A and B are shown apart, each in its own frame.
Chain A
Amino acid sequence: MELERVDTQRAYDLIWEKITTLELAPGAPLNEQELAEEFGMGTVPVREALKWLAHENLVEVTERHGIYVADVNVDDLQQLSEMRLSLESLSARLAAERVEPDDLVVLEALRREQETLTAEELRDLFDLDHKFHQAVAKAAHNKYLAQTLDRLFGLSRRLWYLVLPHLETLSSSVEMHVALTEAIESGDVDRAAAIMYEHVKEFYDDVREILMARE
């Protein structure tokens, strides 16, 4: 039982990674058997993991077409951006209100890590940006908010990977991190919320522009 749960978590993580990085493209069919073989585990944990993912809107299960990766479109982009704009600014606002020394250490470490990356290392920069958002959410000290943002992140990540090939650099995120960390550290709630809002908005605007140009 215990082992099976560990496997389920592992299967979930692996499939999540594949879906959100578009290795498993939107609309792609999913085969329990194949995935199980690939991961070197039984089909039961894979099936469990697919249920969790369906629960999170990343996988669709239908009578007629079986299991496949959920589709993604511009409507999703709009809806996700609406949600994240609200929640990420709330997260930054609460972080500025509640940040603790430990949280600041993490934010500072991430900033330094970011300095070692060049603007062309897009994937790494994006992953780092994600870690930064998670660190802010942690500093907000609201576990429901952190959970909700995590779920939304999986969905956004796909959008981002969709536009990745069309991006050359990740705009302005370095300055943003510095400014946001400062606002959080100084407890400037309004400024923290505003910076985060602009940052998230910029991201979705970029993605939208590219998606629109493609269609």
Chain B
Amino acid sequence: MASARDEIQRVYGLIRDQITGLELAPGTPINEQHLAEDLGVDVVSVQEALQLLAHDKLVVISPRHEHGTYVANVHLADLDQLSEIRLTLEGRSAQLAAQRATSDDLEALDAVAEEHAAVPPEDSKRYFEVDHKFHRVIAEAARNEYLADMLERLYGLSQRLWYLTLDRLDFLPAAVGEHLDLLEAIRAGHTDHAKQIMRHHVKDFYNKVRKLMTVTVKVSYGEDVRSVVVEENALLGGAIVSTGLPLEQPCGGRGTCGKCKVLVEGDLAPLDDAEQKLLSSAEKSAGYRLACRARVLGDVMVTLAPVVVYSNKIFRASDDHVRRTEVPLGLAIDLGSTTVAAFVTTLDNGKVCAGAAALNQQTIFGADVISRLSAAVQDEETAQRISKLALSSIVQAIDALRLPTRVKKRIGRMTIVGNCAMHHLLLNYPVESLSTLPFQPHSTAAVRSTDGMFAEVFPSEVEVALPPLIGGFVGSDALACLAYYDFDRAPGPMAAIDLGTNGEVMVTDGERILVASTAAGPAFEGVNISCGSRAVDGAIVGVEAHQEDSSFTLTTIGDLPPVGLTGSGLLELVCQLRRIGVVDRSGRFVADHPSFGQRISKDEDGVPRLLITEEGVDRRGFEPGEEGVQVPLYLTQLDIRELQKAKGAVHAAAETLMDLLDLQPSDLEHMILTGSFGSQLNLEAVVGLGMIPPVDLEVIQTSDNGAGFGAALFLDDEEFERGERIAAMAEQVDLDLEPGFSERFIKALELPGIPGRLEDPRPPAS
């Protein structure tokens, strides 16, 4: 019996070493027969030893039809728990050793310290062995068998976790110094000091291992960016869910629905079968993964699919592109700062058949262009990421067209237009000069061949071309508008304004074409407005104020409960408030307004605000179809300021360009308003608030998607060349250098009234 028992203890030790040394990795199934053969021992001893190991929780024994016998799994929680208890016991051990160590113990410790110093720095495994010995000798010096026995077990359990990170542990040599300090404290009998050093030594080590075992997952959802620390190899989906940001997983993570697509960058396990099947090649190359399948190996950055865009860029004019199966197709992309639109065109006649849009995912680097440029300047990795985000936004916009695969295959051409920043960031051009005075582009030249830059995303036979830029401020999106509205063929004076995050203003007198870009800011797209909203379901697009009962009638998209103000909703609201005198000429709220004054209050920061409705809905963080939370919606003084700046910039730019061409507002034969909400604009509000110079309402036309339709024109070689000619003749005006622009801008901040139409019960503010 005794010798059999010794044999079991020996086999127990052998298997235990294999488990703690990870030769038998966590979760590995154990076959008693094979293990016995490997170790050269009999099966009975292995069985007995496994029983003991199960008692130690290093092995799990379950009936064969369940999981059988396997090596116990380890998790981060194990590391944390072991660290806590070892910290206490090792500290106690050092303390007692300092109290009780004999000269023999000290000699033994000296010997181990010497041994430790002689270990070659790269031999991590040897470091562990000697470290283990050191702890054992101290425990022996502590003269407590139970303590020594317990520490030995805990060391074994911990070692398994340490070994997981062994190949990345490069700090072990530092422990040698700590051992020497500890040795001195023990020798000197400084009990508390010894305890302290030991605790620090143990804690420091666990912290380092913990850091190696964990990764940080950063998740961005629009402007909301959150991060979470998770165990290496964790599922991405779980990490995302734990941040509290929404992730759609209708199939419950089985990898069958493909709905949890997220854009990820960083170190992940290779795509598994489900991902290979459910992701298109374009999505794969753009960095999409299925959150329910992808495992995290290093720090990663996740971008959640943004909310669906509702925009006038989404339309279906005809299904020629589907029906006329023999005709080659082209794609025109308008890469806007906020919205990316894709238009599909039949190439034989240049007809735009359908359009769709997606949000530009670069917004995680800031809603405005300047922040994105400065992020890209910081380092090459970020620049590449921003470029990739543009690319994946384009892919999403194309996906939103929902083209059948056979139709997609007929796409032979693609043009991409955008402002200078979007253009440079997409092509990953250097942007230093674009982001600092005097804002020079790296290159304005047309790009006919993109050198396979998009080869991963689109079949290589698809020709991708980018028309030239006009200057450092004015990009190919404005060029597309010029071409689409025939500025080069205009018989007389005309102007066009593309209202977006940047407002592009174009004016011609019939000969010269002047173009300027204003930093209008994203107010027109409902961004930077406290209750601003993109044109989504429930967004307020129209407002009517009723003096008699100080109420508003709101018009919302889809007639749904209001979620916020779109750009046009904002314009109309402010225009109405101005008409009835709730807002004065300088843009200030009139707090003692006889009827609407009761709706005006101050927020926590003391900023005046006006209650739009008590029955607004906050749907942030809710899934489509869910109800959201009821919240009041307010228009704040700062929102009005934001609008004033945006409209003032556009007005001053138009006035400046007209002045340069000696044109009066009455000279203009056409004034075209385009952009993301061109056709939804209430023209009375536009003129009433002085967003454009005072032209007759009759000459104003609104037009959807000028840039996108212009981009579609450029799919034709001749039109592309015409575009290049327009780019060469159009003159970019740098507004900041124009004398008088600032004065014009300041003056244009005012909110005038339309003579005869708007009542203005109060004298102009002094």
Contact = CB atoms under 8 A, between A and B. Distances in A.
Interface stretch (A82-90, A120-128, A159-167, A182-190): A82-90
A103 to B, nearest CB: 16
B89 A87 contact: yes
A1 interface: yes
B88 A144 contact: no
A152 B85 CA distance: 14
B81 interface: yes
Contacts of A143: 81
B5 interface: yes
Given A82-B92, A147-B57, A90 B1 contact: no
B149 A57 contact: yes
Interface residues of A, number: 33
B81 A51 contact: no
B144 interface: yes
Contacts of B91: 86
Contacts of A57: 145-146, 149
A67 B89 CA distance: 31
B1 to A, nearest CB: 7
Interface in A87-113: 87, 90, 94
A144 B157 CA distance: 10
A155 interface: yes
B88 A152 contact: no
A63 interface: yes
B5 A83 contact: no
A162 B51 CA distance: 31
Interface in B142-179: 143-147, 149-150, 154, 157
A214 interface: no
A57 B149 CA distance: 10
B63 interface: yes
Contacts of B48: 51
B344 interface: no
Task: Give the most central of B5, B82, B85, B149: most A CB within 10 Å.
Answer: B85
A144 B2 contact: no
Interface residues of B, number: 31
B144 A83 contact: yes
B84 A90 contact: yes
A51 B8 contact: yes
Nearest to B81: A142
Contacts of B125: none
Contacts, number: 75
Contacts of A147: 57
Nearest to A78: B144
A86 B195 CA distance: 12
Interface string A145-162: 101100110010000000
A55 B52 contact: yes
A145 B84 contact: yes
Interface in A55-71: 55, 57, 61-63, 66-67
Contacts of B61: 5
A79 B57 contact: no
B144 A79 contact: yes
A61 B143 CA distance: 23
Nearest to A65: B2
Interface string B1-25: 1110100100000000000000000
B519 to A, nearest CB: 52
A5 B48 CA distance: 12
B546 interface: no
Q: Identify which of A61, A79, A152 gathers the most chain B CB atoms within 10 Å of its CB.
A: A79
A57 B57 CA distance: 17
A142 B84 CA distance: 8
A36 to B, nearest CB: 15
Nearest to A61: B5
A2 interface: yes
Interface string B65-95: 0000000000000100110110011011000
A98 B149 CA distance: 28
Contact of B2 (A2, A62, A79, A148): A62
Given A48-B51, A63-B2, A142 B146 contact: no
Contacts of A142: 81, 84-85
Contacts of B150: 83, 148, 151
B145 A79 contact: yes
Interface in B566-581: none
A197 interface: no
Contacts of A144: 78, 81-82, 85, 154, 157
Interface string A29-72: 00000000000000000001001101101000111001100000
Nearest to A87: B88
A148 B85 contact: yes
Interface in B695-721: none
A194 interface: no
Contacts of A76: 146
A61 B1 contact: yes
Given A2-B63, A144-B157, A155 B85 contact: no
A80 interface: yes
A145 B80 CA distance: 11
21 contacts: A2-B63, A51-B5, A57-B145, A63-B3, A67-B1, A79-B147, A82-B92, A82-B144, A83-B89, A83-B92, A86-B91, A90-B88, A142-B84, A142-B85, A143-B81, A144-B81, A144-B82, A144-B85, A147-B57, A148-B154, A151-B150
Interface of A: 1-2, 5, 48, 51-52, 54-55, 57, 61-63, 66-67, 76, 78-80, 82-83, 86-87, 90, 94, 142-145, 147-148, 151-152, 155
* Nearest 6 CB-CB pairings of A with B: A63-B2, A142-B81, A79-B144, A86-B92, A90-B88, A145-B85
